């Protein structure tokens, strides 16, 4: 399969998981959505939402990325993606589609060009309808509002959300591009954390290896040994997913747990794209951003059924635009 499949797989896994994003109570997730085996719209209240604890106060108009969504910050029960539709992507993956189109259009990746487009998107009223924006967005735009150069606004963010755009970038780069350098440069714009950089490089190597013909499990064993043990995974596979990603590995967003958790689901469901992305969605936590890994790896290895693409909002809009 191709890197284009990997890119689409990341979008599909995010859109599928989106209603259950940051549910840590799995019984509540099932009560609200049943099984996330098809695209659904989010609904309020989100019983585990901690948006009420988050704050962001832009320094000036250059940092005003919340705009009309700001009124929901501080309120209880608000779903992080309350205004998105079924099959729609969260903001990090909406940015991934913008990145993919920009690199395709220009034929190469330029970090400053992308940073300027990122800023333009985030400051355009109505460009996205996500209520919650991750810490890295807030950190970037605080520094941008302070007048820092656009390529120097990244923070030391250690969340798996930093991997959301890697499959899109790899799929868009020309074949002769230095993809490892592009990956490093891209991450440095927003995520200046060594573990996120390591994870991004590992994901890129995995996707390159799989699309060159390596079986997924062999690629993980060869490229991800510092993150993941196939021997341990073989014993974990006898247990329920929500036990492994819950008791053994955290379902939360920090890269040191989230990346191995995503690799585990990709390893377990190595030949089952549908089952793998459903399992990722149903263990909750930061399932959207784990989806960048699970969805891209499984799609690179197995392809994607057309029904997922047909109902993916980003794909429909892209097709319409072109």
Give the model's pLDDT for residue 99. 98
Q: pLDDT tens for the chain, 322 residues: list them.
A: 899 999 999 999 999 999 999 999 999 999 999 999 999 999 999 999 999 999 999 999 999 999 999 999 999 999 999 999 999 999 999 999 999 999 999 999 999 999 999 999 999 999 999 999 999 999 999 999 999 999 999 999 999 999 999 999 999 999 999 999 999 999 999 999 999 999 999 999 999 999 999 999 999 999 999 999 999 999 999 999 999 999 999 999 999 999 999 999 999 999 999 999 999 999 999 999 999 999 999 999 999 999 999 999 986 554 444 3
The answer to whether 204 and 180 have CB atoms below 8 angstroms apart is yes
| pTM (predicted TM-score) | 0.97
Please state, in angstroms and rounded to a whole number, the distance separating the CA atoms of residues 2 and 74: 43
List domains and CATH numbers for the chain.
3-317 (1.10.4080.10)
Interhelix angle 287-302/273-282, nearest 10 degrees: 170
Give the model's pLDDT for residue 256. 98
3-state secondary structure 160-174: HHHHCCHHHHHHHCC
Go through 123-147 and write b for each residue having 16 or more CB atoms within 10 A of its CB, e for each that does not: beeeebebbbbbebbbbbbbbbbee
Please state, in angstroms and rounded to a whole number, the distance separating the CA atoms of residues 197 and 186: 10
Residue 238 has a CB neighbour count (10 Å cut-off) of: 7
Tally DSSP H helices, then E strands, for the chain: 16, 0
Give the model's pLDDT for residue 317. 53
Coil, helix or strand at residue 159: strand
């Amino acid at each position: 399969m191709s890197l284009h499949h990997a890119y689409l797989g990341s979008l599909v896994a995010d859109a599928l998981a989106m209603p259950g994003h940051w549910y840590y109570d799995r019984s509540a997730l099932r009560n609200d959505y049943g099984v996330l085996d098809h695209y659904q719209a989010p609904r309020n209240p989100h019983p585990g939402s901690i948006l009420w604890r988050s704050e962001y106060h832009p320094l000036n108009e250059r940092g005003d990325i919340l705009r009309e969504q700001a009124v929901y910050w501080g309120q209880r029960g608000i779903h992080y993606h309350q205004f998105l539709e079924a099959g729609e992507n969260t903001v990090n993956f909406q940015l991934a589609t913008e990145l993919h189109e920009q690199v395709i259009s220009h034929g190469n990746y330029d970090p400053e060009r992308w940073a300027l487009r990122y800023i333009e998107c985030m400051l355009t009223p109505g460009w996205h309808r996500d209520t919650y924006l991750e810490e890295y967005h807030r950190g970037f735009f605080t520094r941008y509002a302070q007048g820092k150069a656009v390529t120097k606004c990244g923070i030391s963010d250690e969340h798996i959300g930093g991997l959301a755009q890697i499959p899109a970038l790899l799929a868009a780069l020309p074949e002769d591009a230095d993809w490892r350098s592009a990956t490093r440069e891209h991450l440095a714009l927003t995520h200046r954390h060594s573990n996120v950089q390591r994870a991004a490089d590992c994901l890129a190597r995995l996707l390159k290896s799989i699309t060159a013909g390596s079986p997924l499990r062999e690629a993980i064993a060869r490229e991800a040994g510092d993150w993941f043990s196939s021997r341990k995974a073989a014993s974990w596979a006898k247990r329920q997913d929500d036990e492994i990603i819950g008791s053994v590995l955290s379902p939360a967003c920090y890269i040191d747990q989230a990346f191995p958790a995503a690799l585990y689901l990709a390893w377990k469901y190595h030949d089952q794209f549908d089952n793998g992305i459903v399992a990722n969605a149903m263990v909750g936590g930061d399932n959207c951003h784990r989806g960048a890994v699970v969805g891209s790896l499984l799609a690179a290895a197995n392809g994607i059924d057309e029904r997922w693409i047909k109902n993916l909002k980003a794909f429909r809009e892209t097709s319409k635009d072109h």
